[in-house]
Amino acid sequence: MENILIAEKLSKKYEGFTLDEVSFQLPKGCIMGLVGENGAGKTTIIKLILNLIKKNSGTVQVFGLDNIENDPKIKNRIGVVMDESNFHDNLKPTDISIIMNNIYDNWDKELFSRYLNRFKLPKDKRVKDYSKGMKMKLSISVALSHDPELLILDEPTGGLDPIVRSEILDIFLEFIQDEEKAILFSTHITSDLDKIADYITFIHNGSIIFSESKEEIVDNYGIIKCGTNDFNTIDKKDIVGYRKNQFGYEVLVTNKQKNRSKFKDFIMDNANLEDIMLFYIRGEHN
């Protein structure tokens, strides 16, 4: 499977924070969720990919091209949505279309108009009169209206109600249907990724915890519920984190199938992405 985006040992140092040799690959035809707590490094990764900040080390290739040497060429082929609108308050959608037509080789004003209609965005209102959700839908409309091959999205569904979020997720799934495009999708709403992501890259304190297919993650992790004596029999190498309560222990383990076979009398639940993040970030560790 051909990769549309490759990050290799990407590092960035700030005072009090280091993004530490982050590596991952995003294949064509796929959606990758980028998850982690606030301050984990998600936005730093996106800014490094977009060449908005200077890296300390590592490389980024987009479409097989170095992202610094080929910056204008790459940006002409990607759509970007950041977590806040970057359009001037006094602009109307018609003004934005004129500006984008002078920026992107493939700007399609008719397609932009169709997205505005699809999202029920008024064309005669200024950006300052849009709600937060409307501004996000406007940004997504702009990102999709120049035939991009890669979408890079930083919290694109934040502030949107569940119905609109569902509509936007459907649009993202439509976007990758030809299997030649891809999406990198940073979000706190892990249920969105449960629905649409093919791969998950989990970053914690500036380091990659894992970057794997969602299917592999779901197959690998489970939550064991047990008492103190039973907890002591679980292989410590399989324990990611645990929480103790008045009834005993909840334990996030890897090697789910092995542990399910070994501890047939234990209750073992499947773990979703939110469970996995919480146990890594807030669970107790040996």
Q: Which amino acid is at 197?
A: A
Q: Are 244 and 286 in contact (CB under 8 A)?
A: no
Q: Which CATH architecture has domain 3-212?
A: 3-Layer(aba) Sandwich (3.40)
DSSP run (H or E) holding 142: helix 132-144
Total residues found in the chain within this entry? 286
pLDDT per residue over 98-120, tens digit each? 999 999 999 999 999 999 999 99
- Which stretches in the chain have pLDDT values below 50? none
CB neighbour list of residue 78: distance below 8 Å, 6 or more residues apart:
62, 148, 149, 150, 151, 152
> Would you state the pLDDT for residue 83?
74
State how far Cα 30 lies from the chain centre: 12
- What dihedral angle (degrees, nearest 10) is formed by the CA atoms of 256, 258, 261, 267? -30
DSSP codes of every residue in 195-246: HH-SEEEEEETTEEEEEEEHHHHHHH-EEEEE-HHHHTTS-GGGEEEEEEET
Residue 207's nearest CA partner among 61, 17, 52 is 17
Residue 120's nearest CA partner among 88, 93, 84, 147 is 93
CA distance 200 to 24: 10
Mark 221-237 as b/e (b = at least 16 C-beta within 10 Å). bbbbbbeeebbeebeee
> Would you state the pLDDT for residue 205?
92
> Would you state the pLDDT for residue 94?
93
CA distance 110 to 147: 12
DSSP run (H or E) holding 19: strand 17-27
CA distance 203 to 209: 6
Q: What is the pTM of this model?
A: 0.91
User: Environment class of residue 151 by beta-carbon count within 10 Å: exposed (0-12), middle (13-18) or buried (19+)?
Assistant: buried
> Would you state the pLDDT for residue 134?
87
State how far Cα 73 lies from the chain centre: 23
